[in-house]
Amino acid sequence: MRYLKNKELIIVITIYTFASFFLLKYDDVFYINIINPIFWADILIYLILDIKNSPIRFRVNKKYLIYMSIIAFVQICIYVYLGFILGFSKNPYSIEILSILKNIIIQIFPIVSIEMARYIIISRNKNNKLVLVFTTILLILVQIRYNTLIDLYSNKEEIFEYICSNILPLITSGILCTYLILKGGYLFTLIYRISSVLPILILPILPDLDWFITGSIGILSPIIVYVIFKYSEKKDIRERKQIAYTKLSYLLTFAFCITLICFMTGMFKYEPISILSNSMNPTYSRGDVIIFKN
């Protein structure tokens, strides 16, 4: 069986991205449960043969791999910890063995295939910025649920919430994954992305997070991971003065991110809240975000 070439792989994913727009609109359940897993399973088979017939290797830095594993573990712990602050709700997915296996096929297989595709394309075009940018954008677009955007088009408030809680985190995550591939291959991206969906697949209860907190975590998490890796990279280059400055800037960035998360989750005296009705017109309108004192 002949393996997919670089251009062929990009063309196939591009065509599928456009096709998914119509498939989701026609029957989203059939697409999510049948078509999408089958497509990415086929792509994964081709990618495995591609690597086997045309070996591509990144030098994996074991220290970075340990960093990524620790980050993934901390990410899961923070996610669960938020439940103790904001409360828990029942997992909408079944956690029976067969259901878990089904969810792994539906959610994990596409993630593995997407990151393997990213790895193969980028490994052959590490110095081609145009291909890197196009690949990053393409692999973001192929994961968007366009039927949801169409359904929410008439409701500006809900479409804004969906963009903030789903699409913006998808964009920041996609950019981070491209960076991680350049740092050392697909293992980094697989650890990061699988750890973000693993609690949903195996935990009976999940933190009851609203769109604002979900989006904030989804946006800030890739930024924090990037900061950690850049700090480690700078440290390896033994530039003492630059390291001292970088350490301070990263520390301030990290402190700001933690402060922002605590503020958004209502752990401080003041808390942001979204107005959900027009009962306070004309002072406040539906969709406004205000800061109030607990």
Q: Is residue 276 part of a domain?
A: no
β-strands 205-207, 289-293 pairing: unpaired
CA neighbor of 195 nearest in space, from 176, 210, 212, 211: 176
Residue 266 Ramachandran class (φ > 0 left, ψ -120 to 50 alpha, else beta): left
The first and second tokens of residue 145, run together, are 């649920």
The first and second tokens of residue 193, run together, are 């992305």
**Which residue's structure tokens are 């366009």?**
146
Range of the domain at 63: 6-214
Q: Is residue 122 part of a domain?
A: yes
Q: Does residue 4 surpass a pLDDT of 60?
A: no
Spatial contact of 148 and 158, defined as CB atoms under 8 Å apart: no
Q: Is residue 235 part of a domain?
A: no
Q: Is residue 246 part of a domain?
A: no
| pLDDT tens-digit series, residues 37-79 | 889 888 888 877 776 665 555 566 677 788 788 888 888 888 8
Give the predicted TM-score (pTM) of the model: 0.74
| pLDDT tens-digit series, residues 129-175 | 888 899 999 999 999 888 888 787 778 888 888 888 899 999 999 99
Start-to-end Cα distance in the chain: 64
Number of domains in the chain: 1
For the chain, the average pLDDT equals 79
The C-alpha angle with vertex 185 and arms to 165 and 229, in degrees rounded to 5, equals 65
Q: Is residue 65 part of a domain?
A: yes
264 vs 280: CA distance, rounded Å: 23
